[in-house]
Structure 1
Amino acid sequence: MNNTIDTIKNHRSIRQYLDKEVSDELINEIVRSAQDMPNSINGQQVTVIVIRDKAKKEKLAELAGNQDYIAKAPVFLVFVMDFYRTYLAGEKTGFKQVIHEDIEGILVGSVDAGIALGASVIAAESLGLGTVPIGGVRKNPEEVIELLGLPKYTFPMVGLVVGYPANKSHKKPRVPFNSFKHDECYNTTSIERSIDTYDEQMSKYLNDIGRSEQETNWSTFTSKIYQSVYYPKVNEVINKQGFNVHSNK
């Protein structure tokens, strides 16, 4: 189709990186690409923290569940939901901010952080770099907040490892396209029919990469995780940061 679409469709997570620095020029291009993406009401409620310090990366790797590729890669980006900036705007104008006290604020910040993350992945991979998103920054959020010096009304949503790939990795299959794209309304039948097909595809993929014993297939792997809240500290800490997801103001 075109180079941009080819880059997106060729995405794969990279967890092994060359011992090669990524220039500030390239990182700035990636972060500028994220900044130029759309955001709700032009509120600019995302901040990106660029981390190169070895000790800090090692600590973040530990806090994220011992994901050592965070420490080994040259750069780690943390995407922060940021209502501190808009809070300061309200202090300046006298219009008190309350959006952070409602679930709508969490949704706005989550969507905008996700848009920025997606843009960063595409930008990085178009420059020949490899990436892997890290939800594990939410595993021990209080320690991450302290480490990064985050103020009230902010929260670390997701990280992104960036570096030069040491290998190409395998491209993971996705659910059947006809269960992802629905026309006019949600098609429950398409979803129901797709699960067995996708389990078979994932079983083959996992067998090919030598992980069939650990994960088995998509249904088993996903349902085992989703039978519990796997980052249980988020709710308490996000409220400590000034967000109140239970409010109906």
Structure 2
Amino acid sequence: MNNTIDTMKNHRSIRQYLDKEVPNDLIDEIVKSAQAMPNSINGQQTSVIVVRDKKKREKLAELVGNQEYVAKAPVFLVFVMDFYRTYLAGEKTGLKQVIHEDIEGILAGSVDVGIALGASVVAAESLGLGTVPIGGIRKNPEEVIEILGLPKYTFPMVGLVVGYPADESHKKPRVPFESFRHNESYDIKAVEDSINVYDEQMNKYLKEIGRAEKEINWSTFTSTIYQSVYYPKVKGAINKQGLKTK
């Protein structure tokens, strides 16, 4: 189709990295690509923190669930939902900000962070770099907030490991396209029919990469995780930051 689409469709998460620095101008291009993306009301409620300091990356690797590639890769980006900037605008104008006190604010900020993250992944991979998103940044949010010096009305939503790939990991299959694209309305039957098909595909994939003994299929994996709130500290920490979910 074209190089951009080919890059996006060839995405895979990289967890092994070369011991090679990523030039700052490339990181700037990645972050500028994220900044250029659309956002709600042009509020620009996303900030990106670039973490290169090795000791800080080692501590963050521990906090996100002992994911060692956070420390081993040369750069770790943290995407922050940021209503502090718009709060300051309200202080300037005398118009009190309240959006951060409602679930709508959380939703708007989350969508904007997700768009910025996606753009960063594409930008990095187009430059020959590898990435892996880290949702575990929310595992111990209060410690992360302290390490990164985050002010009120902000929250660390997701991290992104960036570096030069040591190898090209396997490309993980996705759910059948017919259950992902819906025409005119949600196709319940297509989704229901896709589950067994995708479980078989994932079972084959896991056997190919030697992980069949640890994981069985998509249904088992996701339901095992989603039977609990796996980052239970989020609600308390996000409320402490002044962000409400009422």
Scaled to the shorter chain, the TM-score interval is: over 0.9
Code of the residue aligned with 1:203 in structure 2: it is N
Give the Cα–Cα distance (whole angstroms) in 1 for the partners of residues 62 and 17 of structure 2: 18
Give the Cα–Cα distance (whole angstroms) in 1 for the partners of residues 215 and 37 of structure 2: 35
**Runs ≥4 residues deviating over 6 A:** none
Structure 2: segments with no counterpart, 5+ residues: none
Instruction: Report what 2:191 is aligned to.
Output: 191
Instruction: Report what 2:144 is aligned to.
Output: 144
Instruction: Report what 1:17 is aligned to.
Output: 17
Per-residue CA deviation, residues 53-101 of structure 1 (Å, 9 max, x unaligned), is 0000000000000000000000000000000000000000000000000
Per-residue CA deviation, residues 166-188 of structure 1 (Å, 9 max, x unaligned), is 00000000000000000000010
Instruction: Report what 1:132 is aligned to.
Output: 132
Offset at residue 214 of structure 1 (A): 1.2
SS of the residue aligned with 2:214? helix
SS of the residue aligned with 1:228? coil
Instruction: Report what 1:206 is aligned to.
Output: 206
SS of the residue aligned with 1:131? strand
Alpha-carbon RMSD across the aligned residues, in angstroms, is 0.3
Give the Cα–Cα distance (whole angstroms) in 1 for the partners of residues 150 and 53 of structure 2: 17
Offset at residue 215 of structure 1 (A): 1.3
Give the Cα–Cα distance (whole angstroms) in 2 for the partners of residues 66 and 212 of structure 1: 22
Taking structure 1 as the reference length, the TM-score comes to 0.98
SS of the residue aligned with 2:213? helix
Taking structure 2 as the reference length, the TM-score comes to 1.00
SS of the residue aligned with 2:8? helix
For the pair 1:164 / 2:167, whether they are aligned, the reply is no
Structure 1: segments with no counterpart, 5+ residues: none
Per-residue CA deviation, residues 127-160 of structure 1 (Å, 9 max, x unaligned), is 0000000000000000000000000000000000
SS of the residue aligned with 1:179? helix
SS of the residue aligned with 1:215? coil
> Paired residues, what number?
246
Offset at residue 206 of structure 1 (A): 0.6
Overall identity of the aligned pairs, in %: 80
Give the Cα–Cα distance (whole angstroms) in 1 for the partners of residues 107 and 100 of structure 2: 10
Give the Cα–Cα distance (whole angstroms) in 1 for the partners of residues 123 and 198 of structure 2: 29
Offset at residue 41 of structure 1 (A): 0.2
